[in-house]
Structure 1
Amino acid sequence: MIKTSSERYSGHESFVCRFGWLTKIHRAIQNDSSILRNDDLAIQTLGIGRNMVKSLQFWAESTGVIKANGDGGHQSGPLGQLLLSTDGWDPHLESLESLWLIHWAISSKANLGAWNLVFGESKLARFERERLISTLNQRGSTGTKTLATSTLEQHTSIFINSYLATVRNGDDTSWCPLQDLGFLKASKTDDGRTIFNTDLSLPIGLSPRVFAIALIDYIGDVSNGGWTVDFKDVLKGSFSPGLVFRLDEYRLRDLIQVCVDELLKDELTFVDTADTQSLVLRPGSLTSQYQIWSGVERHDYA
């Protein structure tokens, strides 16, 4: 599981994960696995500035679109293989279900402070900007380590701007596609304060197969090799599908049932009795598209 002692608050270079970035870098490392080792070549090939290249690499690694290959270069990561390969689910990254999977990867794997706090642990499902900054400061400043206020302010802004929908024109590529999830809403109080809200809502575009991946990933993370997990943990456990996707009990049961009846019919059992509610996974019989998620290591999301 994620350790908050190693949470990250920087690396994004003040840029959100922009429209088109993930497909662009995935395509680039397929052509030249070492492209990110050559700043000038990366700038020329990707058509963006030096700081943007660093930001793009940060987001591509944080989502699992790319990962280090052991030779100083990069290769397709677990999410890159599934979505963006030639025969992937969504090579042009056009569907909402892909965005839900990206959201899952960042919120459950990347160990980013604001994502951990708001989505992974749901400790601030509703918050003011200053409250998020102060809470991150309490978490990130331990012992002799102190985080700069500017770092926390920038990290908070990146988090909010990643999800809060903005008005944009047809030529604008500076926005983050995660805004299309409609996950973060802002409202004004009577005294003029802005409240950001990520409360439970209908997860439009969250497909059963993306949920199945998240469920397999979560069970593999928390079951210590036993491949069994309580239903209540899937609903409300830290970094669980229930919290990260903001699912209520009814919607969660519905998605689990689709997995049991269809997608994971021979691999997943839902034990639902008066005494016990638990899920049992048999990872050895998973098909290839799901198998990788039962053993994905967190370092694949550097």
Structure 2
Amino acid sequence: MRINRARATFGRHETFPLRYGWLPKGFEAIGQDPEIFTKPEEAMITLGVGRNMVNAIQYWLQVTGLVTFDAGQAQPTALGTALLGAQADPYLEDDATLWILHWLIASNAEAATGFFWFFNRFAMPRFRDAEVLHALEEFSAQELKANRSLSTLKSDVSTLLRMYAAEPGRGDEHLDSPFAQFGLIEPDPGAGFRSLRTPRATLPPVALQFAIAQRLNAESGQATALPVRVLLYSDAGWAAPGAVFRLTEDGLMHGLARLIEQDPQRYVLRDTAGLHQLYLRGGPPDPVDILAAHYRGRTASTTLANRRTAA
């Protein structure tokens, strides 16, 4: 979740944006054969894609933290099971799952450095792709102290825009992007693109809760409080929920108010010496536990609704 110069990476997605069915298909495939990605021809048949796409699916499974690979052996993580397991959301039917997957990508400073940089560090609300590329070059040279090839950085910018920007005519991979619907990056007629902070009233509370829990758990000693400013803007190389979800300050405060309303025994906002902070009583919750509780509640609600319909 934090920038590390020695471990920053770009371009490992083979220039393929994440498609809707890739994570469920890949996660299911390794459940049946943990070594499927060591068998390119078999993986192509099982996943129904070409060789380069197989590599891209493996990358996206890793960058989201759903799966680990050790000497070719794939292993679902606790996070992967909590998100895509049979008792969770194996077919990506819940918008909250997609918002959380977006957070997992955009907060991964090591495996998806270009995506992390864009959502946490790139400040231009309106831009052209050339401006993004130039700014990413400067970031790589000045902050990472590394000279990445222009073609590699360009592939990151192109893949990012195709994955998030709902622009007609960009190709089939865009039409199947799980994130285009959120409007985090949009075409801006006459100006290229825009990526604006908005209140985002439809952001599921569990997505914000999960992101905050991950941020707190990543702190040394597991912090129990964070300034609202740190949740809103990237600080000291960390990902910020407000930046990743493109929230205005009012939008973030509304989201925090919903969390407090849902669990007033755990969350509280306080002003301490003029510093507005979110406090957690009893320490930060386990992000995986947050997901388990969410999908249990979703299943219970669906079951109840089905019973009412049947009655």
- After superposition, residues 137-152 of structure 1 pair within 5 angstroms as 137-141=137-141, 145-152=146-153
CA contact (8 A) 1:267 1:286 kept: no
CA distance in 2, matches of 1:220, 1:144: 28
CA-to-partner distance for each residue in 1:94-125, whole Å, 9 max, x for gaps?
23222111110011125323322221224344
Counterpart residue number, 2:278 = 279
Give 2:222's aligned amino acid. Answer: G
- Deviation, structure 1 residue 136: 1.5
CA-to-partner distance for each residue in 1:41-64, whole Å, 9 max, x for gaps?
212211211111000111111112
Give 1:98's aligned amino acid. Answer: T
**1:200 counterpart = 2:201:** no
- Deviation, structure 1 residue 273: 5.5
3-state SS, counterpart of residue 283 of structure 1: coil
Counterpart residue number, 1:176 = 177
3-state SS, counterpart of residue 192 of structure 2: strand
TM-score, scaled to structure 1: 0.83
- After superposition, residues 11-160 of structure 1 pair within 5 angstroms as 11-68=12-69, 70=70, 72-88=72-88, 90-111=89-110, 112-141=112-141, 145-160=146-161
Q: Which runs of 4+ in 1 moved over 4 A?
A: 142-145, 171-174, 284-288
Residues 247 and 287 of structure 1, relative CA distance in 2, 3 Å threshold: closer
CA distance in 2, matches of 1:172, 1:62: 19
CA contact (8 A) 2:82 2:291 kept: no
CA distance in 2, matches of 1:56, 1:15: 9
Give 1:261's aligned amino acid. Answer: E
CA distance in 2, matches of 1:72, 1:162: 27
Counterpart residue number, 1:300 = none
Residues 226 and 201 of structure 1, relative CA distance in 2, 3 Å threshold: closer
Q: Which runs of 5+ in 2 are unaligned?
A: 293-311
Give 2:231's aligned amino acid. Answer: V
CA contact (8 A) 1:62 1:110 kept: no
CA contact (8 A) 1:164 1:183 kept: yes
CA-to-partner distance for each residue in 1:62-96, whole Å, 9 max, x for gaps?
1122223x5641222354222210100x2210232
Counterpart residue number, 2:305 = none
Q: Which 10-residue stretch deviates more, 250-259 or 73-82?
A: 73-82
**1:163 counterpart = 2:168:** no
CA distance in 2, matches of 1:160, 1:285: 33
3-state SS, counterpart of residue 229 of structure 1: strand
Equivalent residues, number: 284
CA-to-partner distance for each residue in 1:162-214, whole Å, 9 max, x for gaps?
1011448xx9786321111121112233xxxx332111124264211111101
Cα RMSD over matched residues?
2.8
CA distance in 1, matches of 2:180, 2:285: 36
Residues 153 and 291 of structure 1, relative CA distance in 2, 3 Å threshold: closer
CA-to-partner distance for each residue in 1:111-160, whole Å, 9 max, x for gaps?
32332222122434432211111121222246995322222222111010
- After superposition, residues 234-249 of structure 1 pair within 5 angstroms as 234-238=231-235, 239-249=239-249
Counterpart residue number, 1:270 = 269
CA distance in 1, matches of 2:252, 2:173: 36
Counterpart residue number, 1:226 = 223
Counterpart residue number, 2:255 = 255
CA distance in 1, matches of 2:125, 2:148: 23
CA distance in 2, matches of 1:280, 1:204: 23
CA contact (8 A) 1:119 1:125 kept: no
Give 2:134's aligned amino acid. Answer: S
CA distance in 1, matches of 2:72, 2:149: 31
Give 1:133's aligned amino acid. Answer: L
- Deviation, structure 1 residue 16: 0.6
CA contact (8 A) 1:29 1:75 kept: yes
Counterpart residue number, 1:295 = none
**1:211 counterpart = 2:208:** yes
Q: Which runs of 5+ in 1 are unaligned?
A: 293-302
CA contact (8 A) 2:234 2:240 kept: yes
- Deviation, structure 1 residue 224: 4.5
CA distance in 2, matches of 1:274, 1:222: 22
